[in-house]
Amino acid sequence: MLGIAFFSLLLLLVIGVSLFLKALPIMKEKSLWVLLTSGNWKPFKGEFGFLPYILSTLYVSVIAIVIALPLSLLSSIYLCTYASKSIRRIFEPVIDLLSGIPPVIYGVWGTLTIVPLIANKIAPHFVEFSSGYTVLAGGLVLAIMILPLLISILLEVFRSLPKDITDASLSLGATKWQTVKKVMLRKSTPGIIAATVLSISRAFGETIAVLMVCGNIPLIPHSIFDACYPLPALIANNYGEMLSMPSYESALMLGAFLLFIIIVIFNGISRLTLNQIEKRYSL
């Protein structure tokens, strides 16, 4: 059992190191700075600029969190303070099911519903033509995908607040909403930030759904109605071709390494914050 314990501790390290070693050849060829800030992606000429992919990932994730955060904040506050037990019991399986639906199903649904919606209804108001496979489509699908994670962490954060402080506020004559606004939200700000960071990192790594609705054109998107090409989609799309060119493979592995490092850091910080919140109030 001790062996398994050490093995599992090493796993994180092994993943990181092996991706790094695979990414090393391309970093020797070109400086990391050039790789990250150049917009030229021409694998067959040996140019690997990650900027379009990094920006695409960022844009898509930002849209996702901007949509998902208010929705999940409002609904988790309602479930914690206003909702009766029966409403909670109805809503719990909804969150479970949303989190259980596989990414590829979200992708299929995105191409069936979101993409035509954007192409026919939303985009014509703003731009002349849009295929629907856009930054916005990716953001919308991702927003729905991170909702269950966000809601369940927020619920935990709110539940870990000691009941005394909300009771004190209510007994002083504050309305429920005032208590929520001035006590609950203020007291649980670190938890809310941690939940947000955690969900953003989930959005960063989402692959198949995003691959299906984003359009996958390696150019820097200029509006939310342009196609984009997030980093995970790039890795997933090119795995077959990359074997023939060592530097291409190394570049893709660099992409995976970047994702891994960013997500580990984001996860580490937010999990530490959440653990501390849990510890402070569970005594």
Q: Restricting to residues 57-96, name those near another protein by CB under 8 A.
A: 70-72, 74-75, 77-79, 82, 87, 91, 93-94, 96
Looking at residues 120 to 179 of the shown chain, list those that interact with another protein (rule: CB under 8 A). 144, 147, 151, 175-178
Q: In this structure, which amino acid lies at residue 129?
A: F
The residue within the footprint of another protein, chosen from 15, 34, 161, 185 (CB under 8 A), is 15
Looking at residues 224 to 263 of the shown chain, list those that interact with another protein (rule: CB under 8 A). 232, 235-236, 239, 252-253, 256, 259-260, 263
For the beta carbon of residue 241, count every other beta carbon within 10 angstroms: 13
Measuring CA to CA, how many Å separate 160 from each of 65, 174, 199? 23, 21, 19
Q: In the complex, what is the shortest distance from the CB of residue 238 to another protein, in angstroms, rounded to a whole number?
A: 11
* C-beta of residue 198 within 8 angstroms of C-beta of residue 206: no
* C-beta of residue 26 within 8 angstroms of C-beta of residue 274: no
Structure tokens that stand for 206 in this block:
């989402």
Q: In this structure, which amino acid lies at residue 236?
A: A
The angle subtended at Cα 163 by Cα 95 and Cα 270, nearest 5°, is 55
Nearer to another protein, 224 or 231 (CB): 231
The angle subtended at Cα 201 by Cα 198 and Cα 205, nearest 5°, is 140
Q: In this structure, which amino acid lies at residue 268?
A: G
Residue 134: partners with Cβ closer than 8 Å, 6 or more residues away: 118, 123, 214, 215, 221, 224, 225, 226, 227, 228
Measuring CA to CA, how many Å separate 260 from each of 136, 235, 243, 254, 281? 25, 13, 21, 10, 31
Nearer to another protein, 55 or 180 (CB): 180
Q: Residue count at the site for another protein (CB under 8 A)?
A: 76
8-state DSSP, 228 = B
Nearer to another protein, 75 or 196 (CB): 75
The residue within the footprint of another protein, chosen from 19, 63, 214, 227 (CB under 8 A), is 19
Residue 98 interacts with another protein (CB under 8 A)?
A: yes
Nearer to another protein, 222 or 269 (CB): 269
Stretch that binds another protein, among 15-23, 30-38, 43-51, 155-163 (CB under 8 A): 15-23
For the beta carbon of residue 187, count every other beta carbon within 10 angstroms: 18
Stretch that binds another protein, among 43-51, 100-108, 153-161, 187-195 (CB under 8 A): 100-108
Q: In the complex, what is the shortest distance from the CB of residue 240 to another protein, in angstroms, rounded to a whole number?
A: 9
Q: In the complex, what is the shortest distance from the CB of residue 246 to another protein, in angstroms, rounded to a whole number?
A: 12
Nearer to another protein, 94 or 127 (CB): 94
Q: In the complex, what is the shortest distance from the CB of residue 126 to another protein, in angstroms, rounded to a whole number?
A: 23
* C-beta of residue 262 within 8 angstroms of C-beta of residue 270: no
Residue 190 interacts with another protein (CB under 8 A)?
A: no
Distance CA(131)–CA(108), nearest Å, equals 16
Name the β-bridge partners of 42. 47
The residue within the footprint of another protein, chosen from 189, 271, 278, 280 (CB under 8 A), is 271
Nearer to another protein, 35 or 79 (CB): 79
Nearer to another protein, 116 or 124 (CB): 116
Structure tokens that stand for 156 in this block:
């935990």
Residue 185 interacts with another protein (CB under 8 A)?
A: no
